Amino acid sequence: MRLRHYNPAIILAAAALFFAYDIMADLMDGSESMLHMAVESLVFIAISTVLFAELRRVNRLKKEVLRERGKAARLSGELLAVMRGEFAEWGLSTSESEVALLLIKGLSMREISEVREVKEKTIRQQATSVYAKSGCAGRHELVARFIEDLMSIDTG
Q: Domain ranges in the chain?
A: 1-78, 91-156
130 pLDDT more than 70: yes
Q: What is the pLDDT of residues 5-54, one digit of tens each?
A: 667 778 888 888 888 888 888 888 887 888 888 888 898 888 888 888 88
State the average pLDDT over residues 117-134: 95
What pTM value is reported for the model?
Answer: 0.53
Instruction: Give 73 or 115, the one with higher predicted confidence.
Output: 115
Confidence of residue 139 (pLDDT cuts 50, 70, 90): very high
156 pLDDT more than 60: no
Q: Over the range 28-48, which residues count as b (16 or more CB within 10 Å of their CB) and which as e?
A: eeeeeeeeeeeebeebbeebb
pLDDT score of 150: 62
Of 105, 133, 104, 110, the closest CA to residue 123 belongs to: 110
- Determine the 3-state secondary structure of 92 from DSSP: coil
* CATH class label, 91-156: mainly alpha
DSSP output for 103-141: HHHT--HHHHHHHHTS-HHHHHHHHHHHHHHHT-SSHHH
123 pLDDT more than 90: yes
State the average pLDDT over residues 57-82: 81
pLDDT score of 8: 76
Confidence of residue 154 (pLDDT cuts 50, 70, 90): low
Residue type, 103: L
